[in-house]
Chains A and B, each alone.
Chain A
Amino acid sequence: MKTENPKAWFFVLPVLLLVAFNALVPIMTVVNYSVQETFGNNVFFWQGLDWFEQILRSERFHAALGRQFLFTFLILIIEVPLGVIIALSMPRKGMWVPVCLVLMALPMLIPWNVVGAMWNIFTLPNIGLLGYFLNDVLGISYDMTQDPFAAWVTIITMDVWHWTSLVVLLSYAGLVSIPDAYYQAAKIDGASPWKVFRYIQLPKMKTVLTIAILLRFMDSFNIYTEPFVLTGGGPGNSTTLLSIDLVKIALGQFDLGPAAAMSLIYFAITLLVSWLFYTLMTKDDGQ
């Protein structure tokens, strides 16, 4: 049942104006750049959709986009189950609850560039604690500055370390909101721990997990600071994710037009995938 009331728009107007100034106007300036060419001095030439075509056809963009999807896919597939498992194993009452919560929140309190710098120093071969330990103590060849695989392992581990807590805290909030009566009912029904998880805990966590997955998707898809500080996109281009590539084009090569076009494509992809996630995860709710 839907009722339309034109007056409602009147009340939404202030928010619309606000959003216009902090989102629409900046986006429009990007749109403006994306269809023109400039050589500085405020001189612009009309390009139409050329930049979009160029970006969409470019091998370099495809590679960065592929790396971006791989990165996001890997961190989601690790952080979401891991976060849920940690949340499930955390105490639900008692004196250890605040201790666990603070420990969990710690990584998220560290500024992003500090996280990148920390992991950079930590993993440098021969001088970093981890690098030294792996190479010189265990004898495993590990050098994230030379070996693309090692670099990937490092940025994934860093992101897992930094952001799993978010999934943990959100899942935990969902878990503690389940009344004891449901656990009792499940016991009486004879349910196994797996069934309790599948039919009681998971449905109760669904809303917060949807938010957690969306946040982790958007954040990881737009990630810049930490890998930039850690690997700078290297070795070679092996960890050059979309945002790093974008900055290289915009500020490194000063190709404002292509960079603007790429930004818009980037934005559209993030929006589209977020919408897909959200629609898929909430599709049974309306019933």
Chain B
Amino acid sequence: MVLTLKDATKSVRGITHIKPTTLKLEPGHFNVLLGQTGSGKTSLIKLMAGLDPLASGQIFMDDQDVSRLSTQKRNISLVHQFFVNYPHMTVFDNIASPLRVAGMAKSEIEGRVQEAADILQLAPMLKRRPQELSGGQQQRCALARAIAKESRAVFLDEPLANLDYKLREELREQLPELFAGRGAVVVYATSEPEEALLLGGKTALMDDGVVTQFGMTAEIYRKPDNLTAARVFSDPPINAASIIKTGQSAHMETGVSWTLEGPAAALPDGPYTVAVRPHHVTPVSASTRDVVMDGTVLVTELSGSESSAHFQLGEDGWVSLAHGVHPYEIGESHRFYMDASQAFYFAPDGRLVA
């Protein structure tokens, strides 16, 4: 099954929620929708699921135009961020409900429910009701319903967001396996860049109701099309600053400057935006070519093996993320080193130019 969107839009009472979107989603890998809260991930999923009507454009499942087809007839599954199970039914009945609606034979229903329950380790809980399960088990029940159904498209809308850390890691590892080889298009919405990278497959970056870039996840991470995409796909947020290019060198307003290399050196002179991921800005120099920045430390965080520092450089706030424990003192002036070879350069309109 291939799910295709052609200039699909959504608007509610004159307000556009999804701007014209064209996407081709294929089975065999995860299709991640990555964007911040409010960027339109859920809206896009509801559109594809048929829960909300299209304002214009078309949606195809293979060659079939499903733009006007009701959700009931699209044969899809959806797992929400919050756990949606029918409270008065047992886990077994919950998983079986879409199969019963489809009029499947009793013996086959039992087989499929058992299989889904085994995969998601729900077998001992089939007789219980959702309220008697833990959060992780409730979400696994919702996932089991999606798996047992063998639908054409599975939409997972931040399914792990409400689970605790350990469970989230565990389920995230299992998810790609669960849907592998089922022939369904899997769409996974998340607001965490790390999650997109871990799940692999393809990623569509979303911002303000529009898909800014779509492609292989790793590729997008390495080469964001535009500044917005780079911002969406970075956690902690990517550092960005205005520079003026003259000749072979780049100058920031604060006086920091460096020599441009490679394609960046070939750009015409003028204003650009430089963007560097936090882990390429470190308190320790790795190479003599690193760009030296003296900033004022504002906030520091130590997360086990990594330490991060937010520092002020001229008008801009910067973030540094480095391995190991680095002693910072708030308010002190500290020297940071930027690896300019890892920097992205964007034109004033936001396009990636080097």
Which residues on A are within 8 Å of B, measured CB to CB?
A: 181-182, 184-185, 187-192, 195, 199-200, 203, 287
Contacts and interface: CB of A to CB of B under 8 A. Distances in A.
Contacts of A182: 84, 86
B86 A184 contact: no
B60 interface: no
Contacts of A181: 80, 82, 84
B330 interface: no
Interface stretch (B69-77, B244-252, B306-314, B344-352): B69-77
B102 A190 contact: yes
18 contacts: A182-B84, A182-B86, A184-B51, A184-B78, A185-B84, A185-B86, A187-B50, A187-B70, A187-B71, A188-B51, A188-B78, A189-B149, A190-B102, A192-B72, A199-B86, A199-B97, A200-B86, A203-B87
A191 B80 contact: no
A99 B97 CA distance: 37
B49 interface: yes
A50 to B, nearest CB: 51
Given A184-B78, A199-B97, A191 B72 contact: yes
A287 to B, nearest CB: 8
B215 interface: no
B49 A188 contact: yes
A190 B84 contact: no
Contacts of B89: 199
Contacts of B145: 189
Contact of A190 (B78, B98, B129): B98
Given A182-B84, A182-B86, A200-B86, A187 B101 contact: no
Chain A to chain B: the 9 pairs with minimum beta-carbon distance, closest first: A189-B98, A187-B71, A203-B88, A190-B72, A181-B84, A190-B101, A185-B84, A188-B78, A189-B101
B147 to A, nearest CB: 14
A182 B80 CA distance: 11
Contact of A188 (B76, B86, B87): B76
Given A181-B82, A181-B84, A182-B84, A188 B71 contact: yes
Interface in B107-147: 129, 145
Contacts of B49: 188
Contacts of A191: 72, 97, 101
B73 A190 contact: yes
Contacts, number: 49
Interface of B: 49-51, 70-73, 75-78, 80, 82, 84, 86-89, 97-98, 101-102, 129, 145, 149
B51 A189 contact: no
A287 B76 CA distance: 32
Nearest to A202: B88
Contacts of B88: 203
Given A199-B86, A200-B86, A187 B97 contact: no
A213 B61 CA distance: 48
Given A188-B77, A191-B72, A195-B101, 13 more contacts: A182-B86, A184-B51, A187-B70, A187-B72, A188-B78, A188-B98, A189-B149, A190-B73, A190-B75, A190-B98, A190-B101, A191-B97, A192-B72
B171 to A, nearest CB: 19
Contacts of A287: 129
Nearest to B103: A190
B51 A187 contact: yes
Contacts of A203: 86-88
B321 to A, nearest CB: 37
A115 B72 CA distance: 47
A17 B73 CA distance: 62
A134 B26 CA distance: 68
A109 B39 CA distance: 49
A132 to B, nearest CB: 49
A275 B82 CA distance: 38
A203 B97 CA distance: 15
Contacts of B86: 182, 185, 199-200, 203
B15 to A, nearest CB: 18
B45 to A, nearest CB: 11
Contacts of A184: 51, 71, 78, 84
Contacts of A185: 78, 84, 86
Contacts of B50: 187
Q: Which of B73, B78, B82 has the most CB of A within 10 A?
A: B78
A29 B89 CA distance: 49
A187 B71 CA distance: 6
Nearest to A189: B98
With a 10 A CB-CB cut-off, give which of A190, A191, A195 has the most chain B CB atoms: A190
Contacts of A189: 97-98, 101, 145, 149
A191 B78 CA distance: 14
A195 B98 CA distance: 11
Nearest to B151: A188
A221 B71 CA distance: 46
Nearest to B76: A188
Nearest to B93: A199
B102 to A, nearest CB: 6
B10 to A, nearest CB: 16
A185 B145 CA distance: 10
Contacts of B84: 181-182, 184-185
A287 B90 CA distance: 10
A190 B71 CA distance: 7
B97 to A, nearest CB: 5
A200 B89 CA distance: 10
